[in-house]
Amino acid sequence: MKILVINGPNINMLGIREPAIYGASTYADLVAMIKEYCASADIECELFQSNHEGDIVDKIQDAYGKFDGIVINPAAYTHTSVAILDALKSVAIPTVEVHISKVSERESFRQISYVSYYAVKTYQGLGFDGYIKAIEYLREHLS
């Protein structure tokens, strides 16, 4: 099984940005944790982070025919990006949405998720564990 893990804008600032919300661990810590889990579970994974909406759309398009599943934390683009939703629908790769924080208990502008219109599952408020849960869900869903 081959999984693509995509993170959107400011996720590269983990450890620095709002630690009370996102914790003290860094994006490098997140990458290491996901890689370690995937290696132990015999899952091939690639990680991608970008602060640019179009680059995320390009990466999703490029995943067509190459990946069995996508785990995506679109970050702020969750709440604005029809383009990312359309890209996911275009490639039709099973996708799980992840949010580190509990977005449902945050500001009203975070209550819409465009990606949720396509994602088969959403994990929120579980910190980094949400990414592992998402990968496990895909493994079960795809087998």
Interface residue with ligand DQA, options 33, 41, 47, 103 (CB under 6 A): 103
Q: Which stretch in 62-70, 87-95, 97-105, 132-140 sits in contact with ligand DQA by CB under 6 A?
A: 97-105
Q: What are the counts of helices (DSSP H) followed by strands (DSSP E) for the chain? A: 5, 5
Distance of alpha carbon 134 from alpha carbon 97, whole angstroms: 7
Q: Does 110 bind ligand DQA (CB under 6 A)?
A: yes
Residues catalogued as catalytic: 22, 99
Number of residues that bind ligand DQA (CB under 6 A): 10
**Least distance (Å) from ligand DQA to the CB of residue 23?**
10
CA neighbours within 13 Å on the CB side: how many for 37?
21
* Residue 5 in contact with ligand DQA, rule: CB under 6 A: no
Chain contacts with ligand DQA (rule: CB under 6 A):
10, 73, 75-76, 78, 99-101, 103, 110
